[in-house]
Structure 1
Amino acid sequence: MPAAEPPAADPAEIVEALRDAARLGPFFEIGTDPAEEADPTWRPFPETDRDRLAGLTDRYAERLGTDERRVAASILFQGLASRLWSPVVAVAARGIVPDLSGLHWRWAPGAPVALWLADPRGRRAKDARDAAGLVHDAVVDGQLRPLRDAMLGFVRLADGLLWGNAASALAGGLNVGPAEPGRAALVRELLAREPLAGTGTFVRGRFVRRSCCLYYRVPPGGEMCGDCALLPRR
């Protein structure tokens, strides 16, 4: 017999859980106010308009001071992955996984990425493994894969780099807010699943990736990130 579908969560619980997660900081915020529907600046996310995404990437490159589109695209992908993982993992660690099919975004280079969820819905998860499956479906398959496909339509980036960025963004969320065993367990479950599996490992409790996001190429000489594979390790 096929596995039973996880039970639905009450929409009010989804809204409350997202509101609680937002207290961790702006990267954990997803708005749910239905009045936002009247704002025409919201766009469905993931962004699949390649021309628009390419234009935003080029403007972001200008802001970074680089003429390498792939550098800007890599850093943008990682930033968007972080904005997705942070609130969803925080909420999922409490046993509720939001449905992101109604997710919208609003962003211009230099401004924070705003997210808004129309018609909040979701599922209940009984444990970290169950939650990881639901989060993987929502974030990796529903959001990051389409975003990756759109970006690869105008820039060349290796899959190892992109999924390394996604893994780094996922693990990096653990550095924000109080240590929570539930979040840590969920992150490790997700990192064990393709396409994140093998992108890095935990060394003395901190994630170290096996690829580089290219931030070091941002002029006048971008520093390496704390989890970069290029950093010497003792």
Structure 2
Amino acid sequence: MSDYYTPVLSTLRQIRGLSPFFALDVGRPASDADGGGWRSGDDLADGAVLSGALRAIGERYRTGEARVSASLFFLGYTARLLSPTVAAHAVGGVAPDIRPANVWWHYGPDGMRVRIGEPVAGVSISASLEPVVAAIRDVVPVARGLLWGNAASSIAGALRTVSLSGTASAEQCVALGERLLDEPPLRGSGDFIPFPGEVAFRRRSCCLYYRLDGGGTCGDCPLPQQ
């Protein structure tokens, strides 16, 4: 393996034990007769491909609201990609390339799965996710603020896990989170709440999970607790 890949690979190995959400596999998925259900991130620009995934989510969660399915898709996508990305940033000061061209994704009975093709350093979170946000909004008229709020929630959740693991302090995690959320379009998506020794966060938009049958409000939801 080239030294070019070493910083990202070593950091991903260091954090993958934090939880399953931090275990980001590397390499193109194995080819088989049906492709194993894996799609390139670039395929998200294909409205038919994305619409199919949203229909599957709607069927799984028994919702006919396309914007709820779109929100759940992006929640799963960002949780799986941003957890290792943000943790790698916090632990090793380097983060993988999660732009669509380097991402593979699969939505199946076990939910969303992602992997990256090459373990190279990436660009900003906003630049990496903007094409995905645009692709979703081309298919479903869901608010940009909601989608970026989902990304902010994933960032905060990742930092909370890093802090609880003792890998970095809560203060270090909050400082990193505030820097990451200070970049448009993440700016204004939520706020870290001062609380000694913990990473506390409240987003400013709702992910719509409460609209599912049996759904409720999330821990960082801006809606009043029911």
TM over 0.5: yes
- The structure-2 alpha-carbon separation of the partners of 1:78 and 1:185, relative to structure 1 and needing over 3 Å to count, comes to same
> Contact 1:216–1:222 at 8 Å: present in 2 too?
yes
Q: Distance in 1 between matches of 2:21 and 2:102?
A: 15
Q: Distance in 2 between matches of 1:97 and 1:208?
A: 24
Pick one of 110, 114, 126 that aligns with 1:140: 126
Pick one of 161, 174, 177 that aligns with 1:187: 177
- 1:144-166: CA deviation from partner (whole Å, max 9, x where unpaired): 21111111112111112111111
1:111 aligns with 2:113: no
> Contact 1:85–1:169 at 8 Å: present in 2 too?
yes
- 1:8-52: CA deviation from partner (whole Å, max 9, x where unpaired): x73123222112221112211221256x45453332225222111
Q: Distance in 1 between matches of 2:150 and 2:58?
A: 17
Residue 85 of structure 1 and its aligned partner are, at CA, apart by 1.0
Pairing 1:170-181 to 2, within 5 Å after superposition: 170-177=155-162, 178-179=165-166, 180-181=168-169
Pairing 1:1-234 to 2, within 5 Å after superposition: 10-33=4-27, 36-38=29-31, 40-41=35-36, 42-46=38-42, 47-93=44-90, 94-101=92-99, 103-122=102-121, 134=123, 136=124, 139-142=125-128, 144-177=129-162, 178-179=165-166, 180-181=168-169, 182-205=172-195, 206-219=200-213, 221-232=214-225
- The structure-2 alpha-carbon separation of the partners of 1:85 and 1:154, relative to structure 1 and needing over 3 Å to count, comes to same
Q: Which TM-score applies when normalising by structure 1?
A: 0.80
Q: Distance in 2 between matches of 1:168 and 1:214?
A: 13
Identity, in percent, stands at 37
1:55 counterpart SS class: helix
Q: Distance in 1 between matches of 2:89 and 2:192?
A: 22
Q: Which TM-score applies when normalising by structure 2?
A: 0.82
Q: Distance in 1 between matches of 2:107 and 2:118?
A: 25
- The structure-2 alpha-carbon separation of the partners of 1:57 and 1:103, relative to structure 1 and needing over 3 Å to count, comes to same
Q: What amino acid is aligned across from residue 140 of structure 1 in structure 2? A: S
Q: Distance in 2 between matches of 1:104 and 1:201?
A: 29
The count of residues paired between Structure 1 and Structure 2 equals 209
- The structure-2 alpha-carbon separation of the partners of 1:106 and 1:84, relative to structure 1 and needing over 3 Å to count, comes to closer
Q: Distance in 1 between matches of 2:149 and 2:193?
A: 16
2:215 counterpart SS class: coil
Q: With a CA cutoff of 8 Å and minimum separation of 6, indicate the structure with the bigger relative contact order.
A: 1
Aligned residue number for residue 6 of structure 1: none
- Give unpaired runs (5+ residues) of structure 1: 1-8, 124-133
- Give unpaired runs (5+ residues) of structure 2: none
- Alpha-carbon RMSD: 2.3
